[in-house]
Amino acid sequence: MTRQAQAADSAEGEWASLRARYRLVRAQSERLCQPLLVEDYGVQSMADVSPPKWHLAHVSWFFEAFLLRPYLAGYRVLDERYDHLFNSYYQTHGTPFPRAQRGLLSRPSVAEVYRYRAHVDQAMDRLLAQSPAEQAAEIARRVELGLQHEQQHQELLLMDIKHILAQNPLLPAYRSDLRAAVVRSAEPLRWHRYPGGIGHIGHGDAGFAFDCERPRHRVFVEDFQLASRPVSNAEYAAFIADGGYRRSDWWLADGWDLLQRAGWQAPLYWRQADGAWQEMTLGGLRELDPQAPVCHLSYYEAEAFAAWAEARLPSEAEWELAAQSEPMTGNFLEQDWLQPMAAAAQKSGPAQLFGDVWEWTGSAFRPYPGFRALEGSLGEYNGKFMCGQMVLRGGCCATPQAHIRGSYRNFFYPAMRWQFSGLRLARGA
């Protein structure tokens, strides 16, 4: 075979694999919504949450707006008005429907949203059926982005569904068939030491990564230590018992203000009943597992705990450098626990860097040196959020495994806690 033919062959192979992944990812989103009632699809329990139906439509809109409209000749939209309804925040693409009002849209119905998905899927089939042509590279790049985007929304779907159901005094379970976590005995917290110096973090040129993970660049860190596992529920309960939510000593000023205004007394989904802690989960209300990583903390709570524990949060550089020698395995969406779990018997390196809970870092979400946003409206993907938010690392029990990377930068405002967020302690050497 000539090199040219080989290249064509390999391109064709990649194309086929993209088509296959497209189908898998799209099916996964729908599978996640299987347990929902039609009624659950439309609720928006706070402005940050989107109705599940809206997620399903928006991720389809993403393919329509950035692939079908520009690249599929003769593409006909199902409903021109969806371009407004399902645009999340792309101001340069058009005026998005107001975020806080997504819960008011009883129409399009759930069935119509699925019809919209099918419509987009059929058109995407046509787009991907064509032999790779002139624009193939850009199309492939965007399909990849669209799939990663949909995987992000798969985690958002679970976060949002959990939040929606938790507002309801009936405390309905998302899935009553969800297995109970494996109970394990307490692992003592140990410290792993890392030498300082100049290292590299960020994602290199090859393979997919979001714009904010690039470019790979040099960083300098001093010697540091990282805890062998995330902070556990038992440890966090000790902080509460020691006045964690009653004394200002350990709190950032903004956090203390918020705690008082909002009446926080524990992590988001904890409830006290007869002196014992319970926790709302995707499987309904459960006894708190003392050895499982604490979850659904705001940044303020994470930093207050760290101050109480006389430690600190790792920087994202420290976290990433440490993670470079660890396998990207763990408790992810595919394991189908949908709840963080106590680590199994301790291994050589730090446990649970990946999966279970996102770990708040002490780093603000800012552009890496040399950062460049994508061209056009896609440039709004991450860059415009690089202010006021903190970085979290490692993925969680609701993150698709194929979606995570050591360089992955998740980010939330410090007040937010409906994501699966916990913390791991760090300290100087």
Please report, as ranges, the residues that interact with a second copy according to CB under 8 A. 37-43, 45, 53, 81, 84-85, 89, 91-92, 97, 101, 103-110, 164-165, 167-170, 172, 198, 217-222, 248-249, 251-256, 299-300, 303, 312, 362-364, 366-367, 369-370, 380, 384-388, 390, 414, 428
Q: How far apart are CB 65 and a second copy at their closest, in Å?
A: 16
Q: How far apart are CB 45 and a second copy at their closest, in Å?
A: 5
Please tell me what DSSP assigns to residue 312: B
- The nearer residue to a second copy, 140 or 252, going by C-beta atoms, is 252
Estimate to the nearest angstrom the gap between the alpha carbon of 206 and the chain centroid: 22
- The nearer residue to a second copy, 89 or 208, going by C-beta atoms, is 89
For 4, counting Cβ atoms within 10 Å of its Cβ (0-12 exposed, 13-18 middle, 19+ buried), the class is: exposed
Please give the angle made by the CA atoms of 410, 411 and 414, to the nearest 5 degrees: 145
For 305, counting Cβ atoms within 10 Å of its Cβ (0-12 exposed, 13-18 middle, 19+ buried), the class is: buried
- The nearer residue to a second copy, 71 or 245, going by C-beta atoms, is 245
Amino acid at 358: W
- The nearer residue to a second copy, 46 or 183, going by C-beta atoms, is 46
The torsion region of residue 268 among left (phi > 0), alpha (psi -120 to 50) and beta comes to alpha
Say if residues 22 and 147 touch (Cβ distance below 8 Å): yes
Q: How far apart are CB 125 and a second copy at their closest, in Å?
A: 27
Say if residues 33 and 52 touch (Cβ distance below 8 Å): yes
- The nearer residue to a second copy, 71 or 256, going by C-beta atoms, is 256
Q: How far apart are CB 283 and a second copy at their closest, in Å?
A: 15
Q: How far apart are CB 418 and a second copy at their closest, in Å?
A: 14
Q: How far apart are CB 223 and a second copy at their closest, in Å?
A: 10
- The nearer residue to a second copy, 150 or 316, going by C-beta atoms, is 316
- The nearer residue to a second copy, 129 or 387, going by C-beta atoms, is 387
Calculate Rg over the CA atoms of the chain. Answer: 22
Q: How far apart are CA 341 and CA 289, in angstroms?
A: 8
Q: How far apart are CB 307 and a second copy at their closest, in Å?
A: 9
Torsion sign, CA atoms 7, 13, 16, 22: negative
Residues 374-400 as b or e (16 or more Cβ within 10 Å = b):
beeebebbbeeebeebbbbbbbbbbbb
Q: How far apart are CB 39 and a second copy at their closest, in Å?
A: 4
* SS3 per-residue string spanning 1-23: CCHHHHHHHHHHHHHHHHHHHHH
Q: How far apart are CB 85 and a second copy at their closest, in Å?
A: 7
Q: What is the helix (H) or strand (E) element at residue 276, kind and residue range?
A: strand 276-281
Residues 6+ apart with CB under 8 A from 27: none
- The nearer residue to a second copy, 49 or 72, going by C-beta atoms, is 49
Say if residues 424 and 233 touch (Cβ distance below 8 Å): no
In angstroms, the first-to-last Cα distance of the chain is 57
- The nearer residue to a second copy, 14 or 222, going by C-beta atoms, is 222
- 42, 46, 59, 157 from 38: Cα distances, Å: 8, 19, 19, 15
- The nearer residue to a second copy, 68 or 201, going by C-beta atoms, is 201
- The nearer residue to a second copy, 252 or 285, going by C-beta atoms, is 252
Sheet strands side by side (includes 276-281): 270-273, 276-281, 284-287
Q: How far apart are CB 245 and a second copy at their closest, in Å?
A: 14
Q: How far apart are CB 343 and a second copy at their closest, in Å?
A: 28
